[in-house]
Amino acid sequence: MLLNPLLGLALLLFGAKIGGILFGKLKQPSVIGELVAGIVLGPSLLAIVDTSSLITEISNLGLLFMILLVSLSIDWKILEGRAERFSWMELTRVILVVIAVYAIGTVLGWNIYTMVVMGTVIAIASTAIVARTLTDMKLFGSAEGQTLIGLEVVDEVVAIVSVAIIANVVGGSEITLWPILTTIFLVVGLFVVMGRVGFKFVKRATGSIQKHGIDEALFAFTLLFAFFLGSMTEGLNLAYVLGVFIAGMLLCRSAQHPIITRKVKEIGEGFFIPIFFASVGLSINLFSAYDQIIPILMIMGIVVGVKLVTAMTAFKMFHYNLSDALKLSSGFVTLSEMTAVIVAVAVAKLDPVFYIGLIASFVLINAVSPLLIKFAFGRKSSANRRGWS
């Protein structure tokens, strides 16, 4: 029997918090417990909580809180001098993914739409899950953790361009470069302009708020600023999360950064973020996917295999040793939250098996990937540390 939306939301939050605590006591990332809570309460097992519009809206806010918290937590001073290296590493990895997917698709007889969707899904990863797992392991501020997050930041741009590619392919008969180039131009322009103009505004606004002793208003200003930039980027046909991410990037350079981060973390992790991860578990019925278990497992195997092999190859090409390459590659096994958007946009062009397979992969791979990250970061690195410099 399904609970009403409000009660279902409360139970989902309770289950997510309990799941996170239990897995934390087992020394596992709490995100797994939150995901498992959604699976248990959803149609796969108990079937007492449904993905209502209320849960969907709060889940969307949870994603924004997670992106904002990630951006606030990044040491931008470390990343600023390494942006070019990260960009080349990410470009190399994406090219390898394209080559691998094209080769596999040709052998298996995939059409162009399937190849593009699979390549896009495989190329992009989840910054939210990686950041949450590294935070739980207290490795977010480590050299390896900051390098991985730096690469994931570049990957966010890749995700935005990827959505533009998918929309272009689905809406037309061929891929054209103009929408892609326009998107890249807008993204680069936003970072440059906001980096120069936006910071001055943020510095004055946050300083004025604190000067007048109304620290509680800092959180409200943070959301207002983040959601304003999110609305602006959405109006430019870019992802809403890009504006939120830029807002965090600017706010973390202000003197009030510690206060803002604490407020966002308290409210985000106390309510919105657990709902986001738990809602992922509600999005699939494992029983309905049982009849397609073989092709689904094949799709999952291809996704994980190509992600891991191409990432390892790319990072080895940049002189990381095997242990360190595995650490970075583990973060790219995750599937980006944009996967659901991509699949929804391309559903008319996708075979139903691929649709189910990609949604199942999104839930199951993201449930398991924190374990791989924990395993990889638990390994001892060799003496070769050139990659982190």
Concatenating the DSSP letter of every residue in 123-167 gives H---HHHHHHHHHHTT-TTSHHHHHHHHHHHHHHHHHHHHHHHHH
Number of alpha carbons in the 13 Å side-chain half-sphere of residue 125: 31
Report pLDDT for 255: 87
d(CA 365, CA 121): 12
Residue position matching structure tokens 């930039």: 229
Residues ≥6 apart with Cβ < 8 Å to 31: 20, 129, 132, 133, 136, 277, 370
pLDDT of residue 380: 56
Tokens coding 78: 């470390």
pLDDT mean by block of 10 residues, the chain; 389 residues = 90 96 80 88 91 92 89 74 87 96 95 89 89 85 85 82 68 60 76 82 87 81 94 82 87 89 93 91 76 86 96 95 93 86 77 83 85 83 47
Predicted local confidence at residue 384, as pLDDT: 43
Check residue 385 and give its pLDDT: 46
Encoding tokens for residue 87?
């960009």
pLDDT at 133: 86
Q: How many other β-carbons are positioned within 10 Å of the β-carbon of residue 380?
A: 5
> Radius of gyration (Cα) for the chain, nearest Å?
20
In the chain the domains, ranked by start, together with CATH numbers, are 75-264+290-388 (1.20.1530.20)
- Residue 48 confidence (pLDDT): 94
Q: Is 254 helix (H, G, I), strand (E, B) or coil?
A: coil
Q: Which residues neighbour 81 within 8 Å (Cβ) at sequence distance 6 or greater?
A: none
Q: Among residues 70, 74, 91, 80, which one has the least CA distance to residue 311?
A: 91
Q: Which residues of 11-38 are buried (b: 16+ CB within 10 A; e: fewer)?
A: bbbebbbebbeebeeeebbbbbbbbbbb
Q: Is the dihedral of CA 44, 48, 49, 51 positive or negative?
A: positive
Q: Show the beta-strand stretches assigned E in the chain.
A: none
Q: Could you identify the residue written with the tokens 């278990």? A: 293
Would you report the helix, strand and coil content of the chain in percent, each value rounded to 5? 80, 0, 20
- Give me the count of residues in the chain: 389
CB 243 within 8 A of CB 229: yes
Q: Quick check: 376 and 329 in contact, CB under 8 A?
A: yes
